[in-house]
Amino acid sequence: MADFIINAFADESSSELLGQIEAMKRNNLQGIEIRNVNGKSIHSHTLEDIKEFGKVIEDNGFNVWSIGSALGKIKITDDFAPHLDEFKRTIEMAHILKADYIRLFSFYMPKDEDPTPYRDEVFERMSKFLEAAKGSGVKLCHENEKGIYGDIAPRCLEIHKAMPEFGCIFDPANYIQCGQDILSGWELLKDYVTYMHIKDATAEGKIVPAGKGIGCLPEVLKLYAAKGGKGLTVEPHLSIFKGLAGLEREGEKTQAGVYQYPTKEAAFDAAVAALREII
């Protein structure tokens, strides 16, 4: 199989940066998708903090693959202006950290409502992200996620057809939790996929190690490799880790109890091992 570049959300092994680096070392990973550092969201840190983090990561022989931002994880009815300012600051962070990508989302929809009436507002906001990033050298990548406009493959395809500058992050577990068939979703989005999040789930939506659910990871990874795809980010979610609550919409909770591990470190290592077994 292809020579994949394996990165990870190392905050799932440790909240502290040095612990995250240790997790990457012991699992022979290549880079980090940086999300939470020292117990706080990446957005909560000053640019001086970010410079220090970048130096520590680089001094230890690693790179920042992507900024795993929470941008686009506000309600579509929330004020967008402060969020756009936060986005512009995140571009500065990406330059400091030498990150090629910023992960973002397409806004939470009102619960139990048809997302269609909000399409124009979603596209308008996402276009403003692109405009603000123009000339920065940083590629913006949309991730499918439950509760947002781009939760299922057809709506993700709408985004990528309308704004092809956006990269596509393909997350099988998130699609499963939205009732999206994985292989048909891949077929729709394969030409837009920039990198993958490695996360699997059962039919009931419970998170399991890669290859243990219905995410078709072996098949999708073969298809991804065949099109020249290389970038992977391991996102375990096998045990509840500090910071998870802040990543989800109020009232929702990731079901992470099928595979249980004594420590966050053990859960993280098991997630990486499951991916390597497939490869």
Going by C-alpha positions, the residue among 268, 201, 189 that lies closest to residue 235 is 268
pLDDT at residue 254, as a whole number: 53
| Cα 228 from Cα 74, distance rounded (Å) | 34
**pLDDT profile of the chain (279 residues), mean per 10:** 89 97 97 96 97 98 97 98 98 98 98 96 98 98 98 98 98 98 98 98 95 98 97 88 55 58 92 97
Write out the DSSP string of 207-229. EE-TTSSSS-HHHHHHHHHHTT-
Q: Which residues contact 187 (CB under 8 A, 6 or more apart)?
A: none
| Whole-angstrom distance, CA of residue 215 vs CA of residue 200 | 5
**Full domain range(s) for residue 220:** 5-278
Q: How many domains does the chain contain in total?
A: 1
For residue 169, give the H/E element and its range. Answer: strand 167-170
Dist CA 210 CA 63 (whole Å): 24
pLDDT score, position 256 = 47
Whole-prediction pTM value?
0.92
User: pLDDT at position 245, please?
Assistant: 53
Q: Could you tell me the CATH number of the domain that includes residue 205?
A: 3.20.20.150
Q: What is the pLDDT of residue 260?
A: 79
Asked whether the beta carbons of 201 and 173 are under 8 A apart, the reply is yes
